[in-house]
Amino acid sequence: MNKDSKIYIAGHNGMVGSAIWRTLTVKGYTNLLGVSSAALDLRNQQAVADFIAAEKPEVIIDAAARVGGILANNDYPYQFIMENMQIQNNLIDSALKFGVEKFIFLGSSCIYPKLAPQPLKEEYLLTGTLEPTNEWYAIAKITGVKACEAIRKQFGKDYLSLMPTNLYGTHDNFDLNTSHVLPAMMRKFHEAKENNHAPVTLWGSGTPMREFLFVDDMAAAVIFALENKLPDYLYNVGTGKDLTIKQLAETIQKITGHYGEIIWDASKPDGTPRKLMDITKMHELGWKHQVQFEEGIQKTYTWFLENIDRFKEVKM
């Protein structure tokens, strides 16, 4: 990959896309392409086709998606399946039609069956029932994985999929109505601290186990896939270590400086019992994560505090 190769990052303003952009810039890539959602609606098939035909990128990195936690997935199932399929299908199909040689599709660990053996191996895809609370998003992402596999098989192009574990970090979404568990907890603990260390109520029992990867490590994995021709179509990306939601809460509570009570609302759903990724394939190729968990939480909280004014406008 040449440093002046034209690389289009779909979703470049989001948490993952912006981390990829920063990492590529630091590594000396000079021909990066990004367009805001206001300027290009990726759900619009003709608009995407016209854009790819005109710009002729050599590489597309698809970091664009409609995302959210259990609440958002539960409340907006149609948008989560349809909009994600529209976004990725338009990008993948236009990439094939207009000669894009390399396509990196980013998915999610939720593509694997709810009760699959742990840790999750790539070959467990489509071997069981999905977790009901996010199956709409998962089904959309599975179609993206299979579309890239089909192109790889039929046309011999270097199209592949990276499945990250739960991502967090700078530029995350801290809107309590749509955010994932880690940023939602961080904001709740911070606001409770500011409110005389008021009690914090969290969903579920605290017993499910989750794995978390700092977003800069995910960006490094994408660049690794960009600069190397990987032999397979699907790779897990994670740390290979997990912790309980209770341990997550206690870590965030400590780093934010909250000393109040944590109340677990067991009437709310837990989601998948465990989602630990088997990252053997990426490790064997030479990629490993660098940022340790507490270090990543601290970096994220520092960024949150530096940007807190933008979050104060978004209430529960």
Compute the half-sphere exposure of residue 169: CA atoms within 13 Å on the CB side of its CA.
22
What residue ranges do the domains of the chain occupy? 7-172+211-241+275-291
Distance of CA 306 to the CA centre of its chain: 23
Catalytic residues: 137
pLDDT tier, 316 (very low <50, low <70, confident <90, very high otherwise): very low
Q: Which CATH superfamily is domain 7-172+211-241+275-291 in?
A: NAD(P)-binding Rossmann-like Domain (3.40.50.720)
Query: Quick check: 90 and 106 in contact, CB under 8 A?
Result: no
Known binding residues for NADP(+)? 11-17, 106-109, 141, 164-167, 180
135 in Cβ contact with 114 (< 8 Å): no
DSSP 110-164: GGS-TT--SSBPGGGTTSSPPPGGGHHHHHHHHHHHHHHHHHHHHH--EEEEEEE
List pLDDT tens digits, range 221-248. Answer: 999 999 999 999 999 999 999 999 999 9
- Is 1's pLDDT higher than 90? no
Instruction: Render pLDDT for 264-315 as a digit per residue (tens, 0 to 9).
Output: 999 998 877 888 999 999 999 999 999 999 999 999 999 999 999 887 655 4
Question: Annotated binding residues for substrate, as ranges?
Answer: 188, 203, 210, 270
Binding residues, as ranges, are: 11-17, 106-109, 141, 164-167, 180, 188, 203, 210, 270
Q: What percent of the chain has pLDDT over 90?
A: 84
Quick one: how far is CA 54 from the chain centroid? 28
pLDDT at 71 over 80: no
Q: Give the model's pLDDT for residue 278.
A: 98
